[in-house]
């Protein structure tokens, strides 16, 4: 810690104070001052400032000059007298005020350079900024802070995402945030900003998620609510955002990893690439996903989600009958899920994979307990609600099935497992003998991107039971094309429904179609 004049500069707390008062100053300006004071015995070159404050990224002279002006203003200096910070034109800067050192500072200690946006590795990080209010009355203006605060609380449940604390991110209140500044100061890869506006009868919230490394907006949305529905709007925003981030950030991570080359892949990058292949539910993609999850475990043996990913790939081997020995795949699914839970028992995804592993052994009640735990840990976990609904369908609980599917669809209308959501609804309708509706949802499921051969079998059976033989024949051909050796035992191994009457009708239809 250093003192000069009435000022005290604390590099550990990253604070500048004057007397007893904190000087409001941007984090990059503090980084600039810390570097100057630490190297006050010499001239600090402009290139060195760029390395220390911007992580070596290309910045304009105007940006550097802006931070220098802000630093001078913060310490009561000016460009003419230069009693604290002296500019050596064309070369750099020197800190010329008398400095006293308070407390030990190791000789030669260098402050770590701020992480530049193009150097982010590891767990994705996000900063949620205060919203910009437009035409808000004083009683509504509080929402510009209250909603982002609730978003931060909601995102904190996501174990795969590092969320910058409110105390740090709320220091950035400018109307149009400088992505470079926020990313450098907070170490945030993703930045969520928003605008909140009131009309005569409604509240409008516009959300924008940007990747700070590229400056690109990767997701945005606009939500509207009547003035008397503000509480509902606040809940909807958090639900909507959490489920959107579950889709769009992993997609962006994969795209960024592909551009960066394989040599830079760390554990988290391998994990996201693994997820990308996992949700395709094909034999070849499952192998690729498994290799990436294994590599993530090699790089970080304590990475709970990577072990959960391996559990999921083993589940797919058993579920789609990709393994010559389904029992071994089921055992692996349980083993990897257990390891993930040992490492992080509060992660929703690891609880999810443990629940799905119990499907494979027919223990549906225990599966339901684990899946309920996953959604309790993250009330916005769409895939957890889907899997719970699937379990309820197998047991025959129609009300719980419908409620779970509705919640999953509400939370994640573009989920990578959307075909499964529609397929489960078709299966439930078959149990209720509403074959026309079952066929409609079966068609919808089988035409949704990512749908595998078992989903096509659902559509085939539903259409056959509905008397739509031509459509059933088309789906029968699609099943044979995707999996020539598909059989009724595959169907019931994947969907072991307990409703005997429904099973008999489905089995008869499978036989009629040649399975």
Say which CATH topology domain 2-101 has. Arc Repressor Mutant, subunit A (1.10.10)
CA distance 289 to 309: 8
| Least confident stretch, 41-55, 128-142, 208-222, 432-446 | 41-55
| Least confident stretch, 31-45, 97-111, 483-497 | 97-111
The confidence score (pLDDT) of residue 112 equals: 40
Q: Does domain 385-515 bear CATH number 1.25.40?
A: yes
- DSSP secondary-structure letter at 116? P
Residue 114 has pLDDT above 70, yes or no: no
pTM exceeding the 0.85 threshold for the entire prediction: no
Residue-level length of the chain: 515
Fold identical between 265-379 and 385-515? Answer: yes
- Cα–Cα separations (whole angstroms), residue 162 to 147, 344, 383: 19, 15, 21
Say which CATH topology domain 265-379 has. 1.25.40
Superfamily of domain covering 117-260: ABC-type transport auxiliary lipoprotein component (3.40.50.10610)
The confidence score (pLDDT) of residue 119 equals: 47
Per residue in 251-299, pLDDT tens? Answer: 888 887 776 555 557 888 889 889 889 888 888 999 999 999 999 999 9
The encoded tokens of residue 277 equal 């292949």
Per residue in 354-392, pLDDT tens? Answer: 999 998 998 999 999 999 999 998 888 888 999 999 999
Mean pLDDT across the chain: 86
Higher pLDDT, 340 or 45: 340
In DSSP notation, 52-76 reads: HHHTT----HHHHHHHHHHHHHHTT
Q: For the chain, give every domain's residue range.
A: 2-101, 117-260, 265-379, 385-515
- DSSP secondary-structure letter at 39? T
Per residue in 424-483, pLDDT tens? Answer: 999 999 999 999 999 999 999 999 988 999 999 999 999 999 999 999 999 999 999 999
- DSSP secondary-structure letter at 515? -
Residue 110 has pLDDT above 70, yes or no: no
Residue 80 has pLDDT above 70, yes or no: yes
| Least confident stretch, 146-150, 197-201, 253-257, 483-487 | 253-257
CA distance 132 to 422: 39
Instruction: For the chain, report the end-to-end CA distance as a whole number of angstroms.
Output: 77
Residue 190's φ and ψ, nearest 5 degrees, are -115, 145
| Least confident stretch, 78-82, 92-96, 388-392, 476-480 | 78-82
Residue 512 has pLDDT above 90, yes or no: yes
Per residue in 150-167, pLDDT tens? Answer: 888 888 878 888 888 887
């Amino acid at each position: 810690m250093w003192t000069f004049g009435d000022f005290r500069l604390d590099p550990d707390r990253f604070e500048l104070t004057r007397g007893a008062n904190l000087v409001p100053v941007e984090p990059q300006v503090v980084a600039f001052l810390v570097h100057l004071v630490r190297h006050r015995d010499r001239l600090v070159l402009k290139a060195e400032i760029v390395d220390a404050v911007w992580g070596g990224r290309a910045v304009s002279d105007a940006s550097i000059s802006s931070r220098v002006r802000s630093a001078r203003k913060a310490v009561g200096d000016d460009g003419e007298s230069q009693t604290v910070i002296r500019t050596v034109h064309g070369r750099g800067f020197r800190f010329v005020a008398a400095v006293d050192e308070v407390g030990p500072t190791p000789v030669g200690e260098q402050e770590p350079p701020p992480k530049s946006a193009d150097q982010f590795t590891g767990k994705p990080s996000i900063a949620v900024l205060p919203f910009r209010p437009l035409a808000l009355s004083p009683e509504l203006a509080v929402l510009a802070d209250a909603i982002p605060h609730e978003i931060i609380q909601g995102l904190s449940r996501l174990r795969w995402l590092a969320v910058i604390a409110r105390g740090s991110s709320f220091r950035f209140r400018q109307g149009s945030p400088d992505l470079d500044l926020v990313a450098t100061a907070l170490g945030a890869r993703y930045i969520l900003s928003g605008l909140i506006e009131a009309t005569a009868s409604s509240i409008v919230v516009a959300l924008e998620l940007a990747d700070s490394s590229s400056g690109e907006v990767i997701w945005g949305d606009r939500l509207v609510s009547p003035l008397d529905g503000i509480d509902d709007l606040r809940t909807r925003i958090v639900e909507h955002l959490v489920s959107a981030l579950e889709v769009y950030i992993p997609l962006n991570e994969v795209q960024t990893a592909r551009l960066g080359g394989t040599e830079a892949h760390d554990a988290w990058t391998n994990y996201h690439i693994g997820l990308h292949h996992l949700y395709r539910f094909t034999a070849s993609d499952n192998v690729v996903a498994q290799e990436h999850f294994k590599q993530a475990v090699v790089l970080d043996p304590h990475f709970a989600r990577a072990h959960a990913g391996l559990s999921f790939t083993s589940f797919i081997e058993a579920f789609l009958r990709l393994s010559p020995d389904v029992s071994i795949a089921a055992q692996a699914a349980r083993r990897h899920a257990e390891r993930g839970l040992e490492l992080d028992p509060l992660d929703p995804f690891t609880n999810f994979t443990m629940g799905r592993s119990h499907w494979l052994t027919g223990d549906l009640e225990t599966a339901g307990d684990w899946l309920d735990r996953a959604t309790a840990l993250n009330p916005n976990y769409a895939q957890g609600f889907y899997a719970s609904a699937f379990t309820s369908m197998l047991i025959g609980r129609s009300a719980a099935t419908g409620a779970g599917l509705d919640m999953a669809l509400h939370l994640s209308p573009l989920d990578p497992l959307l075909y499964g959501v529609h397929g489960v609804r078709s299966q439930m309708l078959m149990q209720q003998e509403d074959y026309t509706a079952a066929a409609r949802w079966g068609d919808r499921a089988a035409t949704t991107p990512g749908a595998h051969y078992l989903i096509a079998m659902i559509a085939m059976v539903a259409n056959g039971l509905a008397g739509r033989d031509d459509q059933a024949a088309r789906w029968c051909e699609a099943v044979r094309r995707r999996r020539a050796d598909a059989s009724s035992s595959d169907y019931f191994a994947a969907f072991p429904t307990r409703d005997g009457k429904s099973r008999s009708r489905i089995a008869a239809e499978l036989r009629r179609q040649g399975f």
